[in-house]
Amino acid sequence: MSIRPIKRLIKSKPTIEGAGVHLRRAFGFGNTTDFDPFLLLDDFRNDVPEDYLAGFPWHPHRGIETITYVLAGTVEHGDSMGNQGAIAAGDIQWMTAGRGIIHQEMPKGDPDGRMHGFQLWANLPASLKMTAPRYQEVKAVEIPEIKDDDGTRARVVCGTFWGKKGPVEGIAADPVYIDVSVPPGRRKALPVETTRHAFAYVFAGAGKFCNASGPLAVPTESVGWLDTAPPKEAEDRSLVLFDRGDEVVVQAGDDGIRFLLVSGKPLEEPVAWYGPIVMNTQEQLREAFDELQKGTFLKQEKRRRGTSG
């Protein structure tokens, strides 16, 4: 087995989106080649209602998929196809924007005013940029959780992990999306296919991810794994981008560690990107914004009623 080296360890950066939502961006709106097929990851954990209640009013998407994972509070949504609903703590909404959708997402806090969650953007390949929009809305009880003998827990949102398959299906990038918790002081190896790009985003506790990119000293009897080449510690709101290998190794700190572990097959296609619209060429991008101005952005299709599911 080959441990994945760490390419970068960075802290998410504060930013404001929507109608004034304060959040932190782990990556996005830059060169995302190393994260391909993923484009952006936002951490919208916030305990101050005034900093999130304005939400994300009506806005368009085309050419991508948005994955929203809620930990506390709720996100109410509606769209141009007539769908509406809400996702709450532990729920996932996987929206394939495809050829175009206009929607809104309005966060509401829990009784303590907390609104916690993440939104990940996944790119669509050129062949599926103009596919029909669709939703996969998954309730917390539908997401399988595995507990290993050492107390490590893994919630499998998408893909297959430790023999369990997540409920989200039919995604072009064939992603694996796991919510992992490792108990204090435990060292854990987690499998990741070699051909995938992979990253971890820490959102509770802290730990050290083994960095195999540097030469390791020859261990003596008194030297343990952490003493050979101690990597930097990944704390809350830290993003760890991995290089190639077939497993990720983490040593949990005194308070344990919880993180998202996400991997996907790179599309290796050109990206033309402006805001919520991601195409392959500048011409396609201009066409999309022209259609928005002319009112022809949404393609004709049968309207669906009721709550998306």
pLDDT digits (tens, 9 = 90+) for 187-245: 999 999 999 999 999 999 999 997 644 433 333 333 344 444 444 689 999 999 999 99
pLDDT digits (tens, 9 = 90+) for 28-47: 977 889 999 999 999 999 99
Q: Please name which of 90, 142, 181, 108 lies closest in space to residue 309, comparing C-alpha atoms.
A: 142
pLDDT digits (tens, 9 = 90+) for 72-121: 999 999 888 888 889 999 999 999 999 999 999 999 999 999 999 999 99
Mean pLDDT across the chain, nearest whole number?
Answer: 88
pLDDT of residue 301: 54
Would you place residue 253 in the very low, low, confident or very high pLDDT band (cuts 50, 70, 90)? very high
The Cα–Cα gap between 59 and 40 comes to 17
The Cα–Cα gap between 265 and 243 comes to 13
The Cα–Cα gap between 225 and 239 comes to 22
Return the exposure string of 242-281: e unless at least 16 CB atoms fall within 10 Å of the residue's CB, then b.
bbebebbbbbbbeebbbbbbbbbbbbeeebbbeebbbbbe
**Hey, what are 271's tokens?**
């990206």
